[in-house]
Chains A and B, each alone.
Chain A
Amino acid sequence: MSGVKSLPPGQAGILGRRGEDIVASYLESLGCSILKRNYRTRRGEIDLIVSEGQTTVFVEVKSRSSLSSGDPGERVGMRKRRRIIRAAISYLLTAGGLDVPCRFDTAIVDFHKGESAPIITLIKNSFDLDAQS
């Protein structure tokens, strides 16, 4: 989050969207089907909702360029987690109930100088509802 913010205005959004595209096609190549992109409610938002077999997976995409340094971006902060969890609950409620297997993943996309292929790191089950407490 912090790394992306250090980019010139406008660029951060572009980078973020590119990251989401890359992760979405990566997950599709793994056999997942995309259910929603940029799912938003008043109380939170989720970058990607995909289904992996029976499991609904909520993916937070973190993009970072080589310009950013320091924070590895793999930590999703408590506030952010809470927003994702709230959005996930409202999605599940509209999609037919909470009693389905699901998971929160974090995908990190590393853009190396914008030239070579970006590196995707997928952290499965990166957090759970503990964030609520």
Chain B
Amino acid sequence: MLSTVYSGGVTGVDGYIVEVEVDVSKGLPDFTIVGLPDTAIQESRERIRASIRNSGWEFPARRIIVNLAPAVMKKGGTGFDLAIALGILASLGHIPQDALRKFVVMGELSLDGSVRPARGALCIAVSALESGRNSLLVPAENANEVRALEGITALPVSSLEDAYDVLNGRFDGSLTVACKRTGDSTTDFRPRDTLADHPSDSDPLESAESLDLSDVIGQMHAKRALEIAAAGWHNVLMVGPPGSGKTMLAKRLPTLMPPPTQSEAIEITKVYSVAGLLKPGQGLITKRPFRSPHHTSSYAGLVGGGPMIRPGEISLAHRGVLFLDELPEFRRSVLEAMRQPLEEGKITISRASGSVTLPAMSLMVASSNPCPCGWRGAHGRECSCSPRAVASYAGRISGPLLDRIDLFVEVPRLDIQDLYGGVKGETSREVLARVMSAREIQVKRFEGLKISFNGEMSSREVARFCRVTEEGRKLLMKAFESFSLSSRSYNKILKVSQTIADLGGDTVIDKKHIAEALSYRAILPWNRRS
């Protein structure tokens, strides 16, 4: 007898609905899965056999054929286990077909019949909604993640028997379910509406709660640069000797950014869901991610890849901050691969099997030493590098990558007096208020356009939106001549000036804005080109 179960697969971060057709017929006993399954799905036969047996049913001595439609798409992972098992039970008449058809089912089975969390549950839930299906049967651990979606009814199940009970109407529909695996005796799954006032307590990212901009003493210039970066989405490069506070500053950048909106939070959580980085029972990620990959990271680790194409660091930093410490130490191929995502906010990975596009709208903050030894230009320390070594160090960062950096800022080493008597400056909260108002201005400015930040403006938009006073224009012309600026740096300066003006609440770009923007031009060995 044929039965159909709806389940879902994921390519990149986009889910799609898979129709799991299960045909159980007479004939020599067999169990085959077709529809381009990968090894994990092939192995699911063993998990399904064992979990059906261990849940108290007999595994049928029948000819079982499972088809995962659309059969042309390659499918992978363990998320189809539960759907296939339920399909078999439905074909045997244990579960009413019409009840089963109402749900989109996902989850991995373990040999004892309990259900393990599925990767990409949120992505599948989104695609389920899009295709007009709003009832989900999800592993208990995925329930909070999926419930964040408007209009989704997700029933958490912890075992094959749970699912059987639900589908036979033997579940009272209450949403509080004992969660086996998390260790807590009862993990309370709240209904959707109360979830909002209960933001996810656990975060796969470093807790930014305790960080504040005022932790960093001095470095006013760098702090201001971060403020501009956060307000107008400008990429930053900080140059300074070891121990000057570059990493400390970068870590505090997320505190200057407004919390993600609901739709941004869904985008962020989708990436983490696919990457399998959500903790069991975790809901939406409500903080901006801060990712700091080590400079030895591989191409696939940073950009994304692997056989089923998993998101890399650049996608994990989506809508947040990607901190590249020691930028010149990164592999050249890796850095070059960053160019497209920095430009377009997404990364397309092409394989023979097809191409996948992952979101990668991250604010890049890079740091570098001024030279290989690190002490060039520092007070009281000699730099031991030859001019040639300095040049080759700087040359490791290609021009096209530097073009995507709007703000260059020097982070000098502080003297002992500075550390004790230095100014703490504003708190993150104070700066954030200005950033938020600058963002509001930008939202209005770019209404109806694809971009939403000054940093994303092309030369056409710069010409359209940036209005400069006569005095400002004079200063710009002067700088243009004396520094022999390229037209690209001209645009960069205008973009940064616009953000500075927005931060001050000014409607036109004036001399002072241009002057400040000019201070974030390339410094040290890097200024030889732009």
Q: Which residues of A are at the interface with B, using a C-beta cutoff of 8 A?
A: 55, 85, 88-89, 92, 98-104, 124-125, 127-130
How distant is the Cα of A128 from the Cα of B30 in the complex, in angstroms?
A: 5
- With A124-B61, A125-B61 in contact, is A102–B30 under 8 Å at CB? no
For the complex, give the distance between the alpha carbons of A98 and B28 in Å.
Answer: 7
Nearest Cβ distance between residue B22 and chain A, in whole angstroms? 15
Residues of the A chain whose Cβ atoms lie less than 8 Å from the Cβ of B29: 102-104, 125, 127-129
Task: Please measure, in the bound complex, the distance between the C-alpha atom of A36 and the C-alpha atom of B263, giving whole angstroms.
Answer: 68
Residues in B with CB closer than 8 Å to A124 are 61
B59 interfacial contact with A, CB 8 Å? yes
Residues of B whose CB lies within 8 Å of any CB of A are: 25-32, 45, 58-63
Could you say which residues of chain B place their CB within 8 Å of the CB of A129? 28-32, 63
Inside 8 A of B58's CB, which chain A residues have their CB?
125
**Residues of the B chain whose Cβ atoms lie less than 8 Å from the Cβ of A102:** 26-29, 61
Knowing A101-B62, A102-B61, A124-B61 are in contact, say whether A130-B26 is a contact too (CB < 8 A).
no
In the bound assembly, the distance between CA atoms of A99 and B32 in angstroms comes to 17
A-B contact count (CB 8 A): 47
CB B44 to nearest CB in A, in angstroms, measures 13
**A101 and B26 contact, CB distance less than 8 A:** yes
Specify which chain B residues have a CB less than 8 angstroms from the CB of A99 in the assembled complex: 25-27
Question: Would you call the interface of chain A mostly helix, strand, loop, or mixed?
Answer: mixed
- Residues of chain A lying within 8 A (CB to CB) of residue B63: 129
Pick the most buried of B29, B32, B45: most chain A CB atoms within 10 A of its CB. B29
Instruction: Establish whether residues A130 and B27, one from each chain, have CB atoms under 8 Å apart when the complex forms.
Output: no
Q: How far is the CB of B262 from chain A (nearest CB, A)?
A: 47
Distance between Cα atoms of A102 and B28 in the complex (Å):
6
Residue of chain B at shortest CB distance from A102: B28
What are 26 inter-chain pairs, A to B, with CB distance below 8 A?
A: A55-B61, A85-B28, A89-B28, A99-B26, A99-B27, A100-B26, A100-B27, A101-B62, A102-B26, A102-B27, A102-B28, A102-B29, A102-B61, A103-B29, A103-B61, A104-B29, A124-B61, A125-B58, A125-B59, A128-B30, A128-B31, A129-B30, A129-B31, A129-B32, A129-B63, A130-B30
Q: How far is the CA of A130 from the CA of B43 in the complex (A)?
A: 12
Q: What is the CA–CA distance of A93 and B256 in the complex, to the nearest angstrom?
A: 76
Nearest CB on A from B519, distance (A): 69
A89 CA to B26 CA in the complex, in Å? Answer: 14
What 5 pairs between A and B have smallest CB-CB spacing? A129-B30, A128-B29, A103-B61, A125-B61, A101-B26
Q: Which residues of A contact B45 (CB under 8 A)?
A: 130
Apart from the given pairs A100-B27, A128-B29, A130-B32, 4 other A-B contacts in the complex at a CB distance below 8 Å: A55-B61, A99-B26, A101-B26, A129-B30
